[in-house]
Amino acid sequence: MQVKIFEDHPELSATVAREIQELVQAKPNTILCMASGETPRLTCQLLVQMIRSGKTDISQLHFIGLDEWVGIEPGNSGSCHYFFQHELITPLGLREDQVHLFDGMSTDLQAECKKMDETIDRLGGIDLIVAGIGMNGHIGFNEPGISPDLYSHVAQLDETTLTVGQKYFDSPTRLQEGITLGLKHLLNARKAILIANGKKKAEVIRSAVRETVSNHLPATIMQTHSNGFIMVDKEAASLL
């Protein structure tokens, strides 16, 4: 794993967006997986601009959503679905068959997990995963204590995730579970980039980079990824 430090969030986001665009140019049938949330929003916006202005062929691209809140409608602006739809799917004009998102409203969440795992297998595996990091060190909804051997699964959300997660919603929202790709997907991805910005992420980034790999802080698993990168701005790197 390598750590890369950038001046600020815009520089970090532009670098990641450019990297995604270059990957898609080199491999038009790229399988891209991304997290939603505050950290990757600018990356998504810059990627849309770059793809449009570079006239990059995205007709064979497949997009996989990293996770979703269970029980939250896709039309709810706090859902991951809403984020992906508004930041990537609609602006890029991705077809339905190119997009693979968890249905957090499904009455059979195990079947959703199985479908996602089978889709990833059928497509030949994830080329690039761009993930964020939670204040508790989660990646996706791989919460502290999670087994690194899991593929897609339903997660009981940790207290920190339940509290911090309210920031995405217009009004107080009952959250309990998430559905997420597992750490095994992260490790199997041909490349994994974890991004973080801002002072508030400095402590958890320090732990992810410096502490012994342990499922108590799921993001430490990045240390074991042979093509893994932690890309942060100066503020998030301030305790390294």
Chain residues in the site for ligand F6R (CB under 6 A): 35-39, 66-67, 80, 131-134, 138-140
Beta carbons within 8 Å of 4's beta carbon, 6+ residues apart: 15, 229, 230, 231, 232
| Single-letter code of the amino acid located at 188 | N
Reference 63, options 144, 133, 130; nearest CA is 130
- With residue 128 as reference, give the H or E element that holds it: strand 128-131
Q: Which is nearer to ligand F6R, 62 or 138 (CB)?
A: 138
> How many Å apart are CA 180 and CA 155, to the nearest integer?
7
Q: Which is nearer to ligand F6R, 35 or 89 (CB)?
A: 35
Minimum distance of ligand F6R from residue 40's CB (angstroms): 6
Minimum distance of ligand F6R from residue 173's CB (angstroms): 15
Reference 22, options 132, 128, 126, 131; nearest CA is 128
Reference 128, options 211, 43, 235; nearest CA is 43
Catalytic, 22? Answer no
Phi-psi category of residue 145: left, alpha or beta, with phi > 0 → left and psi -120 to 50 → alpha: left
DSSP 87: I
> How many Å apart are CA 132 and CA 12, to the nearest integer?
13
In the set 62, 68, 127, 136, the catalytic residue is 136
Of all residues in this chain, which one has the CB nearest to ligand F6R in the complex?
132
In the set 143, 153, 197, 225, the catalytic residue is 143
In the set 67, 112, 127, 158, the catalytic residue is 67
Minimum distance of ligand F6R from residue 93's CB (angstroms): 22
Minimum distance of ligand F6R from residue 140's CB (angstroms): 4
Q: Which is nearer to ligand F6R, 66 or 232 (CB)?
A: 66
Minimum distance of ligand F6R from residue 182's CB (angstroms): 12
Q: Which is nearer to ligand F6R, 70 or 131 (CB)?
A: 131
Catalytic, 149? Answer no
Beta carbons within 8 Å of 42's beta carbon, 6+ residues apart: 9, 10, 13
Catalytic, 142? Answer no
Q: Which is nearer to ligand F6R, 90 or 166 (CB)?
A: 166
Active-site positions read 67, 136, 138, 143
